[in-house]
Structure 1
Amino acid sequence: MTKGWGRPFEEPIVIAGRTPLCTLRDAGEHIASLPKAQQQLPHWQAAAEALMVVAERGGPTMFARIGIMRALNRHYVPELNPKGKEPHWGRRKLKRDQ
């Protein structure tokens, strides 16, 4: 597996109002352009660490992509549907109940 900051992501990371992050270098420059207070947050620290491991040790670029995406989407909370899918055993009518 090749190493280096010029390696492209399998699929570019699209950020609203910016050019897409296509390579590991683009993602590193994006993290470096953040304010210092934001860079020190744990999710950005984890993303930067994943990015460095992939670039310097030759890991899969998907690891770095996941780290960046988790940091970018840190405020997203999936909507919880408490009803969800109802169990199948609650719908069946027995002959004695008719």
Structure 2
Amino acid sequence: MDSTIPEPVARLVAAANSGDTQGFLDTFAPDGTVNDQGRVFTGRDEIQRWSDAEFIGMHVTLDVTADITTGEYTTFTATVGGDSFTGQSHFSFTVEDDLVEQMTITA
């Protein structure tokens, strides 16, 4: 992964790839959000329920193939693997105070 990706996003990807649910959740601000194709999950409890059913619970892997970082916004393309959706997806992040405020996933 390119070193231009902010540390909280790099930790999030590493936690997802290793199946570390708590490490994944710890990258988010307490009121952080995941927007998965328009479905929004707010706070670590909702994010965990989503992740257990659709992300880490599905043994997701993220192979970052291209990234762009601009200020507080980070966007990357990844090849997604696992037991559910596989293929290319776009991820964008807002980071503040070393925590992920928002992660948005689009096809």
What is the TM-score when the length of structure 1 is the normalising length?
Answer: 0.31
Q: For the pair shown, which has the larger CA radius of gyration, 1 or 2?
A: 1
What is the TM-score when the length of structure 2 is the normalising length?
Answer: 0.29
Larger proportion of helix:
1
Larger proportion of strand:
2
